Amino acid sequence: MERIAVLVEHRQNEVRDITFEMLGKAHQLIGDNGEVIALFLGDPSQKGLLDQVVSHAHRTIAYLDTNLRDFEPLRYQAAFENIFGRVESQLLLMGQTAFGMDLAPAVAARWGIPFTTDVVDLEVSDGELVAIRQMYSGKVNAKVSLEPAERRLLTVRAGAFPAEDLPTVSGEVQEIAGAVEGDFGARTFVEYLEAAVGDVDITQADVIVSVGRGIKDAENIPVAEELAKALGGVVACSRPVADKKWLPKERQVGTSGKTVKPKVYIALGISGAFQHQAGMKNAGTIIAVNKDPKAPIFSIAHYGIVDDLFKVVPALTEKVKEMRG
């Protein structure tokens, strides 16, 4: 594969992590002789964001228009027409995000490109690109081969690839002055509404003790809180716990919750479906405690304990307290 293009995703004047995750994977796929191309759509006042990208792409093409400061699907689709035709890439990557999933299907349909969504890994087998998607709540990985074509489009799940330690290259920037015209009034950007952080911001924690169905009842959450306190961390949860209102929604980790990257993530009684893994798989160290040896969480855990959390956690808490004096 000679050229891979990555659509830069930005929001509120920040380049999102999914962009760097895709750039890293693109470099891995092309090796030493290919070209990684970053595609940027934005307002001229946002040119400073290119500084974060240019050293990780051999070429950055920036289409700048005063009407592209914030994402509007129809306007961005029209703008993409003016940039995608300039790129001879065999593969285009977008994020499996609200941004990417609004734009990607329209682009695939307009250009007649083979298209696969929610990819968690990519590999080249016998010279052919193979996309890996998950099925049955992450229990099965399906390998998908796309139809032969000059171009292909994939959306990549956030958190699937690391965003750190990207290759550094001497990239160049090509700026295009845009002027997207047309009636785009059907859907117009109004404002961003930020979710409330709540009493604890789990995205900023270095240590997270997270509980799932295995905690059994809200009355048992203090077991996890005691461990978190001993470690100087905070308590989070999987979706079933938030749905039962045992912990507030702001503590939920996963695709419908928050994405966290703590130094240590301890999963207690969490099976680890892909929706949860997407929100925590890039933690520095993952420790899982679950009675089910086949729980998906063990596939990404650095350390695992197959046992009853109500036996393990109190013993672990006492040991931590002893070691910390």
Average pLDDT of the chain?
90
What pLDDT, on a 0 to 100 scale, did the predictor assign at position 95? 94
Stretch (H or E) spanning 92: strand 91-95
| Separation between Cα atoms, residue 220 and residue 92, nearest integer Å | 47
Angstrom CA distances, 82 to 41, 108, 122, 132, 273, stand at 10, 15, 28, 30, 40
Residue 312 · residue 287 · CB < 8 Å? no
| Separation between Cα atoms, residue 202 and residue 238, nearest integer Å | 13
Domains and CATH numbers, the chain: 3-177 (3.40.50.620), 202-323 (3.40.50.1220)
What pLDDT, on a 0 to 100 scale, did the predictor assign at position 78? 86
| Separation between Cα atoms, residue 103 and residue 74, nearest integer Å | 8
| Separation between Cα atoms, residue 246 and residue 240, nearest integer Å | 9
Structure tokens at 324: 């910390």
Residue 198 · residue 174 · CB < 8 Å? no
Of 226 and 32, the structure prediction assigns the larger pLDDT to: 226
Q: Which tens digits make up the pLDDT trace of 28-37?
A: 999 888 999 9
**Band (274; pLDDT cuts 50, 70, 90):** confident
| Separation between Cα atoms, residue 37 and residue 7, nearest integer Å | 9
Residue 298 · residue 278 · CB < 8 Å? no
Residue 90 · residue 4 · CB < 8 Å? yes
| Separation between Cα atoms, residue 199 and residue 196, nearest integer Å | 9
Global pTM value: 0.78
Residues of the chain with pLDDT > 90, as a percent, come to 62
Q: Which tens digits make up the pLDDT trace of 79-105?
A: 888 888 888 899 999 999 888 999 999
| Separation between Cα atoms, residue 237 and residue 194, nearest integer Å | 20
Angstrom CA distances, 189 to 72, 130, 192, stand at 6, 36, 9
Of 158 and 260, the structure prediction assigns the larger pLDDT to: 260
Task: Give residue 53's region: left, alpha or beta (phi > 0; psi -120 to 50).
Answer: alpha
pLDDT at 198 over 90: no
Lowest mean pLDDT among 99-103, 143-147, 161-165: 161-165
Q: How many CB atoms within 10 Å of residue 126?
A: 5
Rounded to an integer, what is the distance from CA 253 to the centroid of its chain? 12
What pLDDT, on a 0 to 100 scale, did the predictor assign at position 195? 59
Sign of the four-CA dihedral 251, 253, 258, 263: positive
Angstrom CA distances, 46 to 9, 43, 120, 216, 256, stand at 12, 5, 30, 48, 29
> Which residues sit opposite 174 in a β-bridge?
61
In which order are the strands placed within the sheet that holds 121-125?
121-125, 128-135, 140-145
Structure tokens at 88: 């001879």
Q: What is the mean pLDDT of residues 279-306?
A: 94
What pLDDT, on a 0 to 100 scale, did the predictor assign at position 231? 96
Residues of the chain with pLDDT > 70, as a percent, come to 95
pLDDT at 153 over 80: yes
What pLDDT, on a 0 to 100 scale, did the predictor assign at position 20? 95
